[in-house]
Amino acid sequence: MHGHLILEWGSLVSQTVPATWLVYCRAGFERDAQAELEHHAEQGGICVKGHTGEGWASVTHINGDTINLLQRDVPFAQLIFARQSLVALPALTLSREDRLSAIAGQVSEAGWNFESIWHETPDTNEGKSLVRLAKALTRPLEIMLKKRGGLRRKAGGRRLHLLWLSGDQVQLGMSFPGNRSELSGGIRRLRFPSRAPSRSTLKLEEAWHEFVPRDEWDACLAEGMQAADLGAAPGGWTWQLVQRGMYVYAIDNGPMDKALMATGQVDHLAADGFVWEPPQRLDWLVCDIVDKPSRVLAMMERWLVRRWCREAIFNLKLPMKQRWQEVQRGLGALEHALKQADVNATVACRHLYHDREEVTVHVRLLDNR
């Protein structure tokens, strides 16, 4: 499969031009990531050809021109299904007797220089089997590229990424500070807290890391705040709120974790999250209800237009085939409704590592009315 793609790319582009925009993604969501890249290319008036493999997607400039400007003009933070965003060279087929010379040669031909090198693999079982090989090549490649001037102390923070597709296939990409994930593979791995009622707790923790700058946590996730958790049972998301010292309205007809209720910080109300209304304005609304995205978005629109909360994090389940298109339409409608209601807010969305068939949305109201 990859060999066919390499021949195809080789016919499209020069061996030294970064004509490809490459992103990592969750396995099974490659078409969604590709559709997202193609959308941005179309918006930029650039004709591209798309490719996918397990755990990655890309678009290549059809004329073989550099893709740098397009990748730069689409901030990584705006991408939904991408875990990492790179400009890339054509994939290489390597000799198993001498893998390093071809890699160093392509770097030299491209004229690239950088401050660090990251060896990465797709987030698949096959990809994980390549980790040992990547580690074995790390130090020898660094030495070789230093001698050739590619690896330097000061190179504007640029980073070389080697995406290992197999033992003899690799694709080289470049990332730039301020427009990339600073996590290996774009994956934030969190330790499951043993006292939490369910593993879903990691979804909310990761969302905070993703959407709330770390230096704002003390102000935005402060002790004594009030929050609502719609569809709370058994309490995975409520547990995170309680750990931050918040008081929580847990809305669900199902039972809550007993230890969580013993904290005295949770008011469990057996009610339908779609119709419940808060007694006063809250600091946070969180929601992981399993239902149609359109229904969840309508509920969120009501909360935000009426300013029942200052900040919200919620998940949209994505069972449909055209997931990128559905998310784009749904979020566009939400942003339009907020604008029509004169609600000044920021809306961000990401397919997080701990998400599966869903994306996580964060909304922050910017006015104090």
Residues assigned a catalytic role: 317
Helix axes 293-305, 323-340, angle to 10 degrees: 20
Six-digit token string for 240: 């995170």
| Residues with Cβ within 8 Å of residue 267, at least 6 apart in sequence | 247, 248, 249, 250
Find the DSSP H helices in 74-154: 99-110, 125-128, 131-148
Instruction: Return the amino acid letter for 280.
Output: Q
Gap between the Cα atoms of 212 and 214, Å rounded = 6
Least Cα distance to 156 among 187, 192, 115 occurs for 115
Q: What is the full DSSP assignment across 248-266? A: EEEE-SSPPPHHHHTTS-E
Q: In sequence order, which residues have a C-beta less than 8 Å from that of residue 357 and are 6 or more positions away? A: 317, 318, 319
- The two counts, helices (H) then strands (E), for the chain are 12, 15
Closest to 255 in 3D by CA, of 286, 275, 232: 232
What three-state secondary structure class fits 19?
coil
Measured between alpha carbons, how far apart are the two ends of the chain, in Å? 56
Strands (E), the chain: 20-24, 48-53, 56-61, 84-88, 92-93, 116-120, 159-166, 169-175, 226-230, 247-251, 266-269, 282-287, 309-317, 345-350, 358-365
